[in-house]
Structure 1
Amino acid sequence: MDKDQKQALARRVARDIAPGQYVNLGVGLPTTVADHIGADREVFLQSENGVIGRWIRAAEGQEDWDLVNAGKEPIALLDGGAFFDHAASFAMMRGGHLDICVLGAFQVSERGDLANWHTGDPRAIPAVGGAMDLAVGARQVFIMMAHRDRHGAPKILPRCTYPLTGLACVSRIYTELAVIDVRPDGLHVVDLSEGVERAQLIAATAAPLVFDL
């Protein structure tokens, strides 16, 4: 995805966050959502490193490296926000207190299984972080990711081939091509990105799709 596609994707996810919701933003693409939630919506963002409230990316020259998001990027915490230790943060994540978590992914299966911590490459460094806690602790799991991997292979599959983070935990998938709901009867396309045709989406997806538009 190019820069414009990433920003458009962040805006699309932000549209689906309702006032009053508590939302965890994970590492990578999900951190960009914070800059696209309108000031007129009272939304409570949470980061696993111990921040809650509202924040934006810190301006250049104004960085406080003791105040960062899950991706270790410096943020400016807005009025009413707070920070705390990991124990309190993980109690929020595991205790069912989050309405939504927004995570990246390597793969998602047609039944909503999630693989986002390891590709199985023995040379790679595993990085599960709090993803397993979020996958089972949040009421809804939103996935933000490129529709294909760097080699052009589909990331939405009948069955994940990478080590799993969680089983049947994904609620909705957002990519540069479409928004797809995961339901008991399969994957339902609820929105197509501008200029994307059905045939293009089908060709880029390894799992069957149902079009609801």
Structure 2
Amino acid sequence: MEQRTIKASNHTTERPENIIQGQGLSKNQIAQRIAQELKNGYYVNLGIGIPTLVANYIPEGIAVTLQSENGLLGIGPFPDETSVDADLINAGKQTITMQAGASLFSSAESFAMIRGGHIDLTILGAMEVSENGDIANWKIPGKMVKGMGGAMDLVASAQNIIVAMQHVSKDGKSKLLSSCSLPLTGKSCVKKIVTELAVLSIHPNGGFVLLEHAPGISVQQIIEATEGKLIVPENVPEMSFYS
């Protein structure tokens, strides 16, 4: 197994009041917030990284079908210790489970689904997003990468793209930029972004629109953490974790 991944014992829903003031959301909490964007009947592709965690937080009463470009329709949550199967992996090579009625097929058929526009929502990680909705998420120059996987097909074909990412890098630099410095995966394709600090959308004329702030995070903190143009409405509500 290249990435033996099991369900975390603490993956249960975390109420906003339990979030530590001033620190923003954890990766699991970002995934939990994005799960509220899912609609009944959606076909959804989850990218590598934070997006894979969304499978653990699908709201009750919502039926969605998770698709993976390596040839699987009907991904379930990560397995527990007793149900790990080395032959069941997602596109990121993490061990997964299958929902009842899931199907397996060739990656060619999977890419036909993507390129044919049959995926309602794509959730991707990113290293950078620009104020025009450009995304850079597959390569850092000088570092070894295995390839872009399905990223370019997904951003070119998806009807709706939400990015799950960290607002700032480990050295404190903004990752929401006026223009991306890393090689682009796609141009003007991102619709919404969820970070540890905020929920934002891309304005049709360019700029990040602040939709929600994370509990314990001030609007001023978000302004300081955003290098690109930030559009701040008069009233910005606290992030909603519940449908």
* TM-score, structure 1 as length reference: 0.94
- Cα offsets for 1:32-64 (capped at 9, x unmatched): 000100342111111111111240111113211
Aligned residues of 1:105 and 1:114 also touching (Cα < 8 A): yes
Partner of 1:181: 201
Aligned residue pair count: 211
The yes-or-no answer on 1:203 pairing with 2:191 is no
Give the AA of the match of 2:71: G
Aligned residues of 1:117 and 1:126 also touching (Cα < 8 A): no
Shift of 1:126: 5.3
Structure ranking higher in strand proportion: 1
The yes-or-no answer on 1:16 pairing with 2:16 is no
Stretches of structure 2 lacking an aligned partner (at least 5 in a row) = 1-22, 237-243
The yes-or-no answer on 1:106 pairing with 2:127 is yes
Partner of 1:162: 182
Aligned residues of 1:46 and 1:52 also touching (Cα < 8 A): yes
The yes-or-no answer on 1:50 pairing with 2:71 is yes
Query: 4+ residue runs of structure 1 moved beyond 3 angstroms?
Result: none
Partner of 2:52: 31
Give the AA of the match of 2:181: T
**Equivalent position to 2:163, from 127, 134, 143:** 143
Give the AA of the match of 2:56: D
Give the AA of the match of 1:163: P
Shift of 1:152: 1.6
* TM-score, structure 2 as length reference: 0.83
RMSD: 1.6
Give the AA of the match of 2:88: L
The yes-or-no answer on 1:134 pairing with 2:154 is yes
**Equivalent position to 2:144, from 105, 114, 124:** 124
Which fold has the larger relative contact order, with Cα–Cα distance below 8 Å and residues 6 or more apart in sequence? 2
Q: Report the more deviating stretch, 131-140 or 80-89.
A: 80-89
Aligned residues of 2:75 and 2:96 also touching (Cα < 8 A): no
Give the AA of the match of 1:21: Y
Shift of 1:93: 1.0
Aligned residues of 2:27 and 2:196 also touching (Cα < 8 A): yes
Identity percentage of aligned residues: 42
SS of the equivalent of 1:72 reads coil
